[in-house]
Chain A
């Protein structure tokens, strides 16, 4: 209970003095490990990623449940969860980072802004730094955030069994797409 009070206070204190926050609970994350020799697409999509972004500081965070990735083929989804990302052991993946030079962008104005995002991504219990380009589209007080980047599966200690090694790509393409709304009651 004491922790909770402290935490609430901390959140209150840290959010005061910062800019407007934007969020979504319906962020889309696409995971694509199709290799050039795959007979079909190895692709899963998660529609319930959460994302919070602070418009002023540019701090941005994502969280996603690994079991929420949906694959067309049931077997592929089972393999993804059981053999590759071990989602029982590591249920969540996260990204914590920053939009570079966020103070130079006025997100209260409609427009399309190309940005660079840098931060730490945690998948399968392993954390790696990533940097990618993204796009912020501001329209009517909402922000559409899109980014695409690749991760090397071996960086996250995800091993692909020899039998399917030529079917599953060694790098996975990750595409993120969020429609962020202003967070009220800050």
Chain B
């Protein structure tokens, strides 16, 4: 009788463990990206100084900013809408070729539609790095970006 109880106990706990593992794997497998709008920025900066930090020391800036949530303030110098309706907003000084290019999250396209060239905006996005180019100007790229309304 006692042995039966032990076996049952083991079986039940085994089942619970397997079920928990399966649930975890299922959830992890289906995990979506968090909405950037709900994330707190790791760093808040301004477009020109953000670019400068990468220009001065790309390695150090990569270490500091890559994969982090960055809030960037700046003047919109270019609004790009591609054929699928995705928006990219470039922030920075119009006199310079370099900019902070923010790929707007498709869930937040609505907010980007109203943005015009010359507007001062704040954008939150995930930093994916620095694309240095002598001819075209060097850009810091933010992905999954959203407009941050809070001033």
Contacts and interface: CB of A to CB of B under 8 A. Distances in A.
A50 B141 CA distance: 11
A106 to B, nearest CB: 24
Interface in B92-151: 101, 103, 128-131, 133-136, 139, 141, 143-144
The residue in A23, A26, A48, A75 that gathers the most chain B C-beta atoms within 10 A of its C-beta is: A48
A73 interface: yes
B133 A48 contact: no
B28 A75 contact: yes
Interface stretch (B1-9, B15-23, B40-48, B80-88): B80-88
Nearest to B28: A75
Contacts of B141: 48, 65, 68
Given A70-B144, A73-B32, A74-B32, A65 B82 contact: no
B62 A75 contact: no
Contacts of A63: 131, 133
Contacts of A37: none
B131 A48 contact: yes
A52 B135 contact: yes
A65 B129 contact: yes
Nearest to B25: A75
Interface string A39-50: 000000001101
Contacts of B128: 48, 65, 67-68
A88 B66 CA distance: 9
Given A26-B82, A67-B66, A68-B128, A48 B88 contact: yes
A74 B133 contact: no
A98 interface: no
Interface in A27-70: 28, 47-48, 50, 52, 63-65, 67-68, 70
A73 B86 CA distance: 19
A25 B31 contact: no
Interface residues of B, number: 29
Contacts of B101: 25, 48
Given A26-B80, A67-B128, A91-B129, A47 B103 contact: yes
Contact of A50 (B29, B90, B133, B143): B133
A68 B66 contact: no
A179 B81 CA distance: 12
Contacts of B143: 48, 67-68, 70
B30 A73 contact: yes
Interface in A9-28: 11, 15, 21, 23, 25-26, 28
A11 B82 contact: no
Contacts of A65: 128-131, 141
Contact of A23 (B30, B32, B136): B136
B31 A73 contact: yes
A165 interface: no
7 contacts: A48-B88, A48-B131, A73-B29, A75-B29, A91-B62, A92-B131, A179-B82
